């Protein structure tokens, strides 16, 4: 049975976690550097990272502005429990919950929410309309990707949230859009769209009218970008995904054929 989280917060006690849960932790004053992974039980998490605690990967000034909090142990010492050494590890890795959180709070990502609940969560990267697959499939994907990788890290198209959503749903975006499965990335694009793309802004006067139009555009953009609503997604077996990671074009063609 799906656990119900509040509209205001998805915070969860570690003792209430179940294997297969998609968990996350905000970083750096709740800005974009948002960390997501799959809880596999026994206090361990499988997650996708750029390494060295940097989860942006734009190769721009954003890498210096949007960064994760320091790890809970010195960077030159491996964790005694999981052996995690964040100065060298990247890609899909397994860490203990303490290393994953790095002193941050623990939150549970929700699946199968209603449109109204989704829109009530003004911040992206917390829930989706898409439904989760059974726990066994989720864990199988996460463990397979731990052994075989998830491709190169990209802040908008292939980030830690994309990894967790794929493990939970098996869904793959097969178009060359600028945003992948990540609700956090979609929110960034939705905010930009609300600010500069709406022709309706010229038909309103005053701050109140502009705010209303901007809010409406933001909500619509977020909703249509959600993985549970988009038409450009399909289920792709994890074995096929890994076999095609070296060729983005091959992934797109494979997804279209499935």
3-state class (DSSP) for residue 154: strand
Give residues with Cβ within 8 angstroms of 218, minimum separation 6: 190, 191, 193, 194
How many Cα atoms sit within 13 Å of 27 on the Cβ side?
21
Measured CA to CA in angstroms, residue 22 lies from 3, 142, 156, 242 at distances of 12, 11, 19, 21
Q: Return the ∠ at Cα 72 (arms to 32 and 166), rounded to 5°.
A: 45
Q: Which of 34, 35, 82, 99 is catalytic?
A: 34
160: annotated active-site residue: yes
- Report the alpha-carbon distance of residue 125 to residue 106 in Å, rounded: 14
Question: What is the three-class DSSP state of 67?
Answer: coil
Q: Which of 82, 96, 127, 160 is catalytic?
A: 160
Sign of the Cα torsion 248, 258, 169, 174 reads positive
34 is known as an active-site residue: yes
- What is the dihedral angle through the alpha carbons of 154, 193, 182, 149, rounded to the nearest 10 degrees? -20
Strand, coil or helix: 126: coil
Exposure b/e, 188-204, CB count within 10 A at least 16 = b: bbbbebbeeebeeeeee
Q: Which of 35, 47, 96, 167 is catalytic?
A: 47
For residue 79, indicate whether it is catalytic.
no
**Tokens in use for 6?**
């509040």
Q: Enumerate the H helices of the chain as residue ranges.
A: 62-65, 97-101, 115-120, 135-148, 160-169, 183-196, 206-225, 238-243, 248-257
Which active-site residues does the annotation give? Answer: 34, 47, 160
């Amino acid at each position: 049975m799906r656990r119900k989280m509040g509209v205001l917060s998805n915070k969860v006690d570690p003792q209430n976690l179940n294997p297969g849960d998609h968990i996350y932790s905000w970083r750096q004053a709740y800005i974009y550097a948002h960390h997501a992974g799959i809880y596999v039980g026994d206090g361990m998490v499988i997650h996708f990272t750029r390494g060295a605690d940097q989860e942006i990967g734009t190769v721009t000034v954003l890498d210096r502005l949007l960064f994760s909090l320091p790890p809970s142990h010195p960077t030159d010492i491996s964790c005694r429990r999981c052996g995690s050494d964040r100065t060298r590890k990247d890609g899909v890795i397994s860490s203990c919950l303490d290393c994953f959180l790095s002193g941050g709070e623990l939150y549970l990502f929700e699946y199968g929410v209603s449109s109204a609940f989704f829109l009530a969560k003004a911040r992206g990267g917390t829930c989706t309309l898409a439904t989760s697959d059974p726990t066994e499939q989720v864990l199988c994907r996460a463990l397979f990707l731990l052994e075989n990788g998830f491709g190169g890290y990209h802040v908008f198209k292939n980030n830690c949230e994309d990894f967790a959503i794929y493990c939970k749903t098996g869904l793959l975006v097969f178009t060359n859009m600028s945003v992948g499965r990540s609700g956090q990335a979609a929110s960034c694009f939705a905010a930009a769209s609300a600010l500069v793309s709406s022709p309706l802004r010229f038909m309103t006067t005053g701050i109140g009218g502009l705010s209303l139009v901007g809010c409406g555009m933001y909500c619509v953009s977020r909703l249509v970008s959600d993985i549970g609503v988009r038409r450009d997604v399909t289920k792709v077996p994890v074995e096929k995904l890994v076999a095609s990671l070296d060729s983005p074009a091959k992934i797109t063609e494979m997804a279209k054929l499935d």
